[in-house]
């Protein structure tokens, strides 16, 4: 049975809009974190004196939760556009990797916030250099190693689903697989590689919003039935 036209037009556009917004917020937060956390170990006093970096980190922690919420909206809208043709195996990996990605981001945000508050309330006696380096390595590991690998699984699974259902063009399939492999294999040796994921989400969101035709998806559902 054919869906009402209003519903068929609403879901892909909602997914595209949510994807674009999530990509911008997550990408902005990642850039702010990279700028705020030094790539090389610094003296504790020098880091505490650099108020610009700490304000930048605070901005990133403000953007991060909203980016995660919009990414969940993006996931839900995309899943709804697939409808009854959803494969249980790929759907499980799709949802699991997406949830774990958001959870990793939120754990990173909570860890970075706790680290920031510890430094702000240190008083006249600054914390030891070991504490500074531990907080720095922990936040970077969460943001640039664990979360991107879950993002890579999400990109690969989403691309596979879209390719099997023939709702994405070949160029987007190749781009999705390339982004997934980069996030799985190259995030540790190459800095800033985590930005590949919000860039991919931005491209997918623009495709759903401007290129993808929801009526084609409904026509395929009628053909399958």
pLDDT value, residue 148: 92
pTM comes to 0.80
Q: How confident is the model at residue 222 (pLDDT cuts 50, 70, 90)?
A: very low
d(CA 32, CA 48) in angstroms, rounded, equals 17
CB burial string 127-136: b at 16+ within 10 A, e below: beeeebeebb
pLDDT value, residue 20: 92
Determine which of 2-6, 52-56, 121-125, 212-216 has the lowest per-residue pLDDT on average. 2-6
Structure tokens at 24: 């911008």
Check: CB of residue 27 under 8 Å from CB of residue 202. Answer: yes
CB burial string 184-222: b at 16+ within 10 A, e below: beebeeeeebbbbbbebbbbbbebbbeebebeebbeebe
- 185 pLDDT more than 60: yes
Q: Which residues contact 39 (CB under 8 A, 6 or more apart)?
A: 191
Q: Say what the alpha-carbon torsion angle 162, 168, 155, 97 is, to the nearest 10 degrees.
A: -30
Residue 115's nearest CA partner among 30, 66, 67, 47 is 47
d(CA 218, CA 95) in angstroms, rounded, equals 23
pLDDT value, residue 215: 47
- 212 pLDDT more than 90: no
Q: How confident is the model at residue 126 (pLDDT cuts 50, 70, 90)?
A: low
The whole-number average pLDDT for the span 33-50 is: 66
């Amino acid at each position: 049975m054919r869906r009402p036209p209003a519903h068929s037009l609403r879901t892909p556009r909602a997914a595209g809009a949510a994807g674009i917004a999530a990509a911008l917020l997550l990408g902005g937060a990642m850039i702010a974190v990279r700028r705020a956390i030094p790539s090389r170990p610094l003296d504790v006093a020098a880091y505490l004196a650099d108020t610009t970096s700490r304000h930048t980190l605070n901005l990133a922690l403000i953007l991060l939760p909203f980016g995660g919420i919009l990414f969940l909206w993006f996931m839900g809208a995309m899943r709804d556009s697939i409808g009854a043709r959803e494969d249980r195996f790929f759907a499980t990996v799709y949802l699991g990797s997406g949830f774990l990605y958001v959870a990793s981001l939120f754990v990173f945000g909570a860890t970075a916030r706790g680290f920031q508050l510890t430094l702000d309330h240190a008083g006249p006696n600054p914390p030891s250099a070991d504490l500074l380096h531990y907080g720095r390595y922990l936040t970077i590991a969460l943001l640039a190693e664990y979360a991107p690998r879950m993002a890579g699984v999400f990109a690969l699974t989403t691309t596979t689903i879209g390719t099997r259902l023939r709702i994405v063009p070949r160029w987007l399939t190749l781009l999705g697989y390339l982004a997934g492999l980069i996030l799985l294999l190259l995030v540790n040796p190459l800095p800033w590689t985590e930005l590949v994921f919000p860039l991919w989400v931005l491209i997918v969101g623009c495709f759903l919003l401007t290129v993808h035709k929801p009526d084609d998806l409904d026509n395929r559902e009628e053909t399958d039935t």
